[in-house]
Amino acid sequence: MELEALNEEKQLLIERLGVHIEKKDNIPPLAARIVSTLILTGKKGCTFEELVTNLQASKSTVSTHLNNLQHLKTITYYTVCGDRKKYFIMNPNSMIIHMGEMLDTWEKEKHLHIAIMNYKEKINQVDPENIDLHFDLEFHLDYLNYLEQASESLKRIRERLLEKNKQ
């Protein structure tokens, strides 16, 4: 009974996570469900046939999404000697790649906010008595502080993942 309940929980999580991934990564619903299935399946992976059956999708549609996800380096597969099946799994480096992209985006945001803040500081200095022209810079300082803290935290997590992948 416990295994049955866990299976139901897994199906609900696949749907919830799938919706989240679909919106976050802007990918088709079935591709997002494939990714969420592989995340919740772990290192064991899923065969093509298991994905077709579990996701109740056509073979051609699953095949198309598997090919696209492999092209995006989101997923990969392994084979077992004597077994002709492919076992699809999450690319162990996909999270590291994604974190690197996030850090790059945050770095660009940081530079943009610094440029905006510098501009606003110059405007504030032109006529310091004119309240209508005066900009409050506190938001930018707080946001830059947030970006710095979030970036440092993400870098630490990324480094730990890199170390784990080397082992």
Q: Is the pTM of this model over 0.85?
A: no
How large a percentage of the chain has pLDDT more than 90? 78
DSSP structural state of residue 137 = -
User: Which residues of the chain are under the pLDDT cut of 70?
Assistant: 1
Task: Give residue 131's pLDDT.
Answer: 76
Q: List phi, psi (to 5°) of 71.
A: -60, -35
Assign domain 2-90 to a CATH class: mainly alpha
Task: Give residue 1's pLDDT.
Answer: 65
Task: Give residue 165's pLDDT.
Answer: 80
Locate the domains of the chain by residue range.
2-90, 94-166
For residues 38 and 89, is the Cβ–Cβ distance under 8 A? yes
